[in-house]
Structure 1
Amino acid sequence: MRQREAFDIERWQPRTSLGRLVKEGKITDISQILRAGKPIKESEIVDALVPSIQEDILEVTLVQRMHKSGRRVKYRVVAVVGNKDGVVGVGHASARDIGSSIKKAVKVAKLNVIEVARGCGSWECGCGRSHSVPFEVSGKSGSVKVFIKPAPRGLGLASAEIPKTILRMAGIQDAWTRTEGETRTTLNFSMAVMNALKQTTKVVMSDRYRERVALGKTGVVSG
């Protein structure tokens, strides 16, 4: 886990209309942006609205290629950011030095943040708390497919290290995961997990299931 520098909103000069609305205090919650489907083009927006956001590195890879002037070497970094409370993002970037590549990857991850719906979808638990996913979801990227299933409270994250780190950053404490494909490719593995988490807010519920949620008869926790 990397130590994040403190963000000074007074020194920030927004370059987009969305950034100006955030600095003026007209938008105070990241959910207002994510639920409206507005693209985030400044990482400072996330810094301002999610001050508790943290960052971690999933992979650092040395990439080499031959050029007519000689061998070119770059560092490729895959990073994850999250507030451990329903907001998470993954990004990757390359640069000639490792410090610059980490900063760029973290910035891209902030531009790609999503909101994750949490709940208690396990029939073995039914505690009603937002500690797991509300129902089974799956995501695919390249040859990798990831399945995330609700787990009872106290089980923990039964998964490989990459999805475990992303789920922890999203605020999911208990879950089972199953994977298919070439999981050694960290970027595809990470994006498959992210695509699965996106489904927690995109699944269309039937009228009967929606009625059960409203009556509190399922483990889904809204908001």
Structure 2
Amino acid sequence: MAWRSYREKEWIPKTELGKKVLAGEVASLEEILASGKKILEPQIIDFLLKGQTKEEVLEVTSTQRMSGSGRKQLMRAVVLLGSSGLVGVGVGKAFESRDAIEEAILDA
């Protein structure tokens, strides 16, 4: 599930928008935002911005809940991802803080 693992593989788009981006029919992120379509694949951002994004971890907190077998602890991370005036915010939850940050980056 790590966000690095999908970057190492060759991207095979699953959505209609992803197929258009890979074919070159959509050339910029501004076109997608102007059309109002949702970006469901994180690879679309990577393909269009080609590593120009910066990530900033805003917050990592632990949350606990009681279950029948004791306390369960989850880590929650909030990440800001941006490039040249475009900003995305993502939230991720996992048992480990590193996994929560990776999930938040994918969400952003």
TM-score normalized with structure 2 length: 0.88
**2:61 matched to which residue of 1?**
61
For residue 10 of structure 2, give the secondary structure of its aligned residue in structure 1.
coil
1:1-223 equivalences in 2 (<5 Å): 7=7, 11-51=10-50, 52-83=52-83, 85-109=84-108
| Alpha-carbon displacement from aligned partner over 1:139-191 (angstroms, at most 9, x marks no partner) | xxxxxxxxxxxxxxxxxxxxxxxxxxxxxxxxxxxxxxxxxxxxxxxxxxxxx
Structure 1 stretches of at least 4 aligned residues deviating more than 2 Å after TM superposition: none
Letter in 1 for 2:30: S
For residue 32 of structure 1, give the secondary structure of its aligned residue in structure 2.
helix
Give 1 or 2: higher strand fraction: 2
| Alpha-carbon displacement from aligned partner over 1:17-44 (angstroms, at most 9, x marks no partner) | 1011111111110001001110111111
Measure the CA separation in 1 of the matches of 2:24 and 2:76.
36
Structure 1: gaps spanning 5 or more residues: 110-223
Measure the CA separation in 1 of the matches of 2:82 and 2:68.
41
Structure 2: gaps spanning 5 or more residues: none
Quote the offset at 1:69 in angstroms. 2.0
**1:178 matched to which residue of 2?**
none
Larger Rg: 1
| Alpha-carbon displacement from aligned partner over 1:38-95 (angstroms, at most 9, x marks no partner) | 0111111111111201111000001111111221111100000001x11111111110
Measure the CA separation in 2 of the matches of 1:36 and 1:71.
46
For residue 90 of structure 1, give the secondary structure of its aligned residue in structure 2.
strand
Letter in 2 for 1:29: S
Measure the CA separation in 1 of the matches of 2:69 and 2:27.
50
Letter in 1 for 2:89: V
Measure the CA separation in 1 of the matches of 2:67 and 2:11.
39
TM-score normalized with structure 1 length: 0.44
For residue 40 of structure 2, give the secondary structure of its aligned residue in structure 1.
coil
For residue 41 of structure 1, give the secondary structure of its aligned residue in structure 2.
coil
Letter in 2 for 1:47: D
Aligned Cα root-mean-square deviation (Å): 1.7
Over the matched positions of the two proteins, sequence identity in percent amounts to 38
Letter in 2 for 1:50: L
| Alpha-carbon displacement from aligned partner over 1:180-209 (angstroms, at most 9, x marks no partner) | xxxxxxxxxxxxxxxxxxxxxxxxxxxxxx
Letter in 1 for 2:28: D
Aligned length: 103
Q: Which has the higher contact order (CA 8 A, sep 6+)?
A: 2
